[in-house]
Chain A
Amino acid sequence: MNAVRRIFGPALAWQSRAVLARHLRVHLRNWHTALVPPLAEPLVMLLAFGVGLGAQIGDLAWGGAPADYLPYLAPGILAYTVFMTAFFQSIFSAYMRMHFQKSWEGQLTTQVRLEHVVWAEMLWAATLATFYAVVVCLVLAGFGVAGALDLHWGWLPMAIPLLFLAAVAFASVGLFFTAILPSIDHMGLPFFLVILPIGFTSSTYFPLPAVPWLETLVLGNPLHHLAEGLRWLLLRGTPTPHLACAAALSVLFLLVLVPIDLRLLRKRVFGDA
């Protein structure tokens, strides 16, 4: 219990909030440019894939019934946005701050300790990912208003806490790579080795084929459970065990990865295990 408190306690400390506020302050200064990607990306994806490709492929067989591709895609985009944003922030932006800007080192010469910096990075990645998800929700709502999309809209706000939790977990994966990447030249590796496999086995953009080993494999993929859980929620209005699985796997990722991240980053930043 003490170990859990030692690892997770700093998430709530004032030092973590101070660093989190720093990231927010910098982001808000550039809010007008920072808002373009989360607005443009889902819009482009929904138009290109949902409307364009959807018209080509027609209905999909999902959940024992046919479904249009656009509504099938919408919850997937929501889940994928959270995943990508959290991962990108915690691996690329955090690496920049740690290695090139040296803002971590500047913070660490104060009352802020490494565990606060690391938690602030994860919480910031999750905050931004959740904000981007809210923007995606607004884009989806726009499609709804235009009559192009019909979802169980009432469930959308209730999905936000789960999206935040999943984003923290994805950020802990990103920070693992931040800790071990030898240089920025290797930044492509986790995208090829982790992002793409997780993304392709997640049911975000297309239903997975009924292959036994694949069905077993995706049981451990929180993005798959998140996408499927949101899909059942938004398309059918039905909460399913996928949501609980996504939450449980997120907690498991955090329990396992946060101590490892802290240990590896301590070695990386201070040269000391």
Chain B
Amino acid sequence: MPAALAVATAAPLLEVQGLVKHLGGKLIVNGVDLACRAGEVIGLLGPNGAGKTTTLRMCYGFLRPEAGSIRIAGHDLATDGDRARRALGVCTQDDTFDTDFTVRGNLEQTARYYRPKIENLAARIDALLAQFGLTEYADQKPDRLSGGFKRRLMIARSVVHRPQVAFLDEPTTGLDPQARMAVWELVAQLRADGMAVVLTTHYMDEAERLSDRLVLLQDGKVRASGTTRALLGDVVGEHVVILAQTVPDAARAADWLRARGDAPTAVLSDWHVALDAAGLAAFVAAFSGLRYEVRPPNLDDLFLALEKEGRR
């Protein structure tokens, strides 16, 4: 069976239904559903305050949902918490390794927090150190590592017990491009190992490259989900026109777009506007002498579109 088909037909390792959560009297998550299968990476996206972190924190047991259910590898997190937690791994946004232990010691110590105990632990840790490029730092304290290697340790620690579902909360925030790409490789390895991976990120290229499927949260609800292209098409549109505000006729073009109900968004010194095929054809016909750029929408446009929706 082709790998993609196997992913599509396998039972989800993460099944989240109808999550609801208030924090500080405010409704933060309002009926979120999620599913992630073995060998699948889903990217959880949304503007600040959309409910991503709260959803994730409920999924790994930090917060108790007021309604809804979370099943990890078939175990209900509320009623069968120990088994559910044994099947999940968490890489938090902040570095939370134990600074009293070395890199190897952190992996050993984390392994001690799981039952049933991890078989052949020493061999497992050696393998993880090699897989994550940490062997030469094994006897160093983690606070002496560079940012990229700290994240490697965090991810290695989250999978020391061979979980079936991994949650990676902004795993590359603050890393330089080289370190980010190294983390991308590791995420790809987790997927290849058959893990279900849920990640949040603010980097649009990262979400696009790593995720098989994106889930877009807005105001505590799933606004849209699907492949990157499908999601962009649904929420943003087919084409994005970029028009420098300084070119002659730019103001007239912006007025024309507003009159059509496609108000452009100012991004630095440009106007950005998403148009469908018919809209683009009309624009081209109306402004044949105008210089502008047309490109496919990306996830930055998605966030601009959401922000625009929020202002309405």
Contact = CB atoms under 8 A, between A and B. Distances in A.
Interface of A: 14-15, 18-19, 21-22, 25-26, 29, 101-103, 105-113, 270-272
A101 B63 contact: no
Given A102-B94, A105-B96, A22 B81 contact: no
Interface stretch (B4-12, B34-42, B108-116, B195-203): B108-116
Given A26-B100, A106-B157, A111-B85, 14 more contacts: A14-B115, A29-B100, A103-B96, A103-B99, A103-B100, A106-B98, A109-B60, A109-B92, A110-B85, A111-B82, A111-B113, A112-B113, A113-B81, A271-B23
Contacts of B100: 26, 29, 101, 103
Interface residues of B, number: 32
B113 A21 contact: no
A106 B157 CA distance: 10
A22 B109 contact: yes
Please report whether the interface of chain A is mostly helix, strand, loop or mixed according to DSSP.
Answer: helix
A107 B157 CA distance: 11
Given A111-B85, A113-B81, A105 B23 contact: no
Contacts of A102: 94-96
The 5 A-B residue pairs with the shortest CB-CB distance, nearest first, are A110-B113, A109-B90, A106-B96, A105-B96, A102-B96
A109 B158 contact: yes
Interface of B: 23-24, 57, 60-64, 81-82, 85-86, 89-90, 92, 94-101, 109-110, 112-115, 157-158, 161
A110 B114 contact: yes
A109 B157 CA distance: 10
Contacts of B114: 110-111
Nearest to A15: B113
A15 B81 CA distance: 13
B110 A270 contact: no
Contacts of A270: 57, 62-63
B20 to A, nearest CB: 13
A93 to B, nearest CB: 11
12 contacts: A19-B113, A22-B109, A101-B100, A102-B96, A105-B94, A105-B96, A106-B98, A106-B110, A270-B62, A270-B63, A271-B23, A272-B62
Given A111-B113, A272-B23, A106 B97 contact: yes
A18 B112 contact: yes
